A and B are shown apart, each in its own frame.
Chain A
Amino acid sequence: MSLSSKKLVKLVFVALAVFLFVASVVRCSVYAYTGDEAYARMAEADGSLRQAFGAVADAAGAGANVSGLTFELDAAGGLLAQANASYRVGDFGNATLFAEQSIGSLVGVVQEAGNLKAAADSDRLSQLGWTASFSSVGLSLLFVLGLFGWRFLRNRYFEGVLEMRPEEAAGS
């Protein structure tokens, strides 16, 4: 095969690739979503939101600061609300678009919530360990000092009793 033939074949392949790419883009831009497709995407978005909410609620229950994640949930919920509004007026394209944006905005939320929960659990365990240690040391000290204190107090008491002198009653 000569050099010019190779160039020609290469050119045809490049042209074919460009054609396929343009055709796929044009096809996507004119594709109309059906109500069923929109509904399915919205259900998927709702499922993602529910899963993310569960994870964030668990993290919040463990004592983690989830204000950032709540903000992300709010944003995703807002997009899903817009998807529902679009669906109600029969705008299935926008409904699908908003639902997909909602799904996209939740990427990583579950994992981040899991990390925050693990950190919160770890912090809580650590705090519990310290508190239990202080309590144990405190109780031990109380026990030991209590025994010494009691011995001291008891001796003082009996010394006081022994130093007492009988007093004569007046007029006897």
Chain B
Amino acid sequence: MGFSDLKLVYVVSCVVLGLIIVAPTVAEFVVLPGGERFSELWLLGQGRMAEDYPFNVRAGESYGFYLGLGNHMGGLEDYLVFVKFRNQSESLPDSVNGTASVLEPVFEYRVFLGDGGVWEREVRLGFEGVVFDGNVCRVSRVVLDGVVLSVDKVAVWDSVNKGFYCQLFFELWFYNSTLSGFQYHDRFVGMWLNMTVPS
């Protein structure tokens, strides 16, 4: 090894060592870009699995399922989960345009979650004032976690799928500080419910 080579190796070694020594201080100021930022919203059945969801339902009974929410947005988030109830002819959120359903929410969950946090709760669902009249079924009230909510929906007999179908769905919104208001997060989950006659 020549003298100039030795000099070069020595200087490079010193520079690398210097960078290693300075790295912890630099790391205090440099913020590296995080990964993909997103939120999760899910529904699970009674056994906390993706099965055994309430389907054939009737008035006066109570049904359980789990609603969950996960935050991977990189900070504390203020979420709003709107609960909406519709029949087959009413609108769902538009996944293509990313717009929420125009239906009024019947209930809401307000959740504050830190980054990486998960919120999950068991939801109890029931129905009151379910009246069958020919090929229509009128649902007056939904009971969610013991809170009686007026919905007043009419489900028409579906001759193809053989049932009176309604859908309970959950839309995820989050607080956008730039807009100073809640913004639809383009995520929703729901379950179809077949209203049946009490035995």
Measuring CB to CB, which residues of chain A are less than 8 angstroms from any residue of chain B? 49-50, 53, 56-57, 60-61, 66-67, 70, 73-74, 77-78, 80-82, 84-85, 88-89, 124, 127-128, 131-132, 134-135, 138-139, 142, 146, 149-150, 153, 157
Contact = CB atoms under 8 A, between A and B. Distances in A.
11 contacts: A53-B112, A53-B175, A60-B76, A70-B112, A70-B117, A77-B110, A81-B107, A84-B108, A85-B147, A88-B149, A157-B6
B28 interface: yes
A12 to B, nearest CB: 49
B25 interface: yes
B169 to A, nearest CB: 17
Interface stretch (B14-22, B38-46, B127-135, B186-194): B14-22
A99 to B, nearest CB: 13
A67 B149 CA distance: 32
A142 B14 contact: yes
Interface in B101-139: 104, 106-114, 117
A142 B108 CA distance: 61
Interface of B, secondary structure class, is mixed
A10 to B, nearest CB: 51
Interface of B: 3, 6, 10, 14, 17-18, 21-22, 24-25, 28, 75-76, 78, 104, 106-114, 117, 147-150, 175
Contacts of A57: 75-76
A135 B24 contact: yes
Nearest to B109: A81
Nearest to A56: B76
A85 to B, nearest CB: 5
A71 to B, nearest CB: 9
Given A53-B112, A153-B6, A153-B10, A88 B106 contact: yes
B125 to A, nearest CB: 15
A150 B10 contact: yes
B21 A85 contact: no
B110 A78 contact: yes
Given A81-B110, A85-B106, A135-B24, 17 more contacts: A60-B75, A61-B76, A70-B112, A73-B112, A77-B78, A77-B110, A77-B111, A78-B109, A89-B150, A127-B28, A128-B28, A131-B28, A132-B25, A135-B22, A142-B21, A149-B10, A157-B6
A82 B107 CA distance: 8
B114 A67 contact: yes
A135 B25 contact: yes
Contacts of A81: 107-110
Contacts of A50: 175
